[in-house]
Amino acid sequence: MKRLNKEFPDPQAPLTHRNAFELLLAVILSAQCTDARVNTITPLLFPKDRPCTPEDILALGEETVRKIIFPTGYFNSKTKAILGCAQRILELGQVPDSFEELIKLPGVGGKTAQVVLAQWFKQDTFPVDTHIHRVANRLGLANSGKNRDKTERQVKASVPKEHWSALHLQLVFHGRKTCTAAKPKCRSCPLNDLCLWPEKNL
């Protein structure tokens, strides 16, 4: 963690957003899609001059939303989730700030809920994406096979709660920059001597 703090001293949320609602929709769009691509789509979906509201999304309508988000993939299910979330949050009056309430929203699972809680509401959470799952298992922080939920439980059990949110982003960035899925840059990795992965490129 000390080395990751030095490598990524102030990790910032990679998805561009101006309020909790925009972040929620951006995280929904990021499923099976890169953050970089999502950041090119959300400016087309959100108002340019002010933060997006549920009313803005509902006013666009299903056909327009689907057309805008088409490049992110899984556009039919994402359109349904986005419009469903907009309607529900309009009824609630705000984006919920609890895990239990967030996962009740259409199309919102545990990972999405935890990202919103960590990055907007500044709560201690540790959502696990494909990068974190890979990196945590390579480093020896987890030994969970293909089970991401197990990865989450194992890392949470070994890392103090107050470090979860920062470590989440640091492992994502480390997985993108160095510990990539194909051809990881093991020789330049700041964690090389701590890593337990038997397939390291030495």
pLDDT bracket for residue 34 (50, 70, 90): very high
Task: Please tell me the total number of residues recorded for the chain in this structure.
Answer: 202
**Mean pLDDT for the chain?**
96
Q: Inform me whether the pLDDT recorded for 167 exceeds 80.
A: yes
Query: Which pair of tokens denotes residue 126?
Result: 């540790």
Q: Inform me whether the pLDDT recorded for 201 exceeds 90.
A: no
Q: Is 129 a catalytic residue?
A: yes
* pLDDT tens digits for range 87-135: 999 999 999 999 999 999 999 999 999 999 999 999 999 999 999 999 9
Out of 97, 124, 129, 200, which one is annotated catalytic? 129
Which of 71, 95, 119 is the endpoint of a domain?
A: 119
Amino acid 132: pLDDT: 96
Q: What number is the average pLDDT over the span 149-174?
A: 96
Q: Are residues 79 and 138 in the same domain?
A: no
Q: What is the CATH number of the domain that holds 139?
A: 1.10.1670.10
Task: Measure Cα distances from 22 to 16, 26, 142, 164 in Å.
Answer: 8, 6, 32, 23
Q: Is 124 a catalytic residue?
A: no
* Position 87 in a domain: yes
Task: Measure Cα distances from 11 to 4, 18, 37 in Å.
Answer: 10, 17, 19
Amino acid 187: pLDDT: 94
* pLDDT tens digits for range 63-72: 999 999 999 9
Q: Are residues 80 and 99 in the same domain?
A: yes
C-beta separation of 51 from 42 below 8 A: no
C-beta separation of 109 from 131 below 8 A: no
* pLDDT tens digits for range 49-87: 999 999 999 999 999 999 999 999 999 999 999 999 999
Which of 104, 119, 134 is the endpoint of a domain?
A: 119
Q: Are residues 32 and 115 in the same domain?
A: yes
Percent of the chain with pLDDT over 90: 98
Which of 119, 150, 181 is the endpoint of a domain?
A: 119
Provide the domain limits for residue 163.
125-194
* pLDDT tens digits for range 13-30: 999 999 999 999 999 999
The number of folded domains in the chain is 2
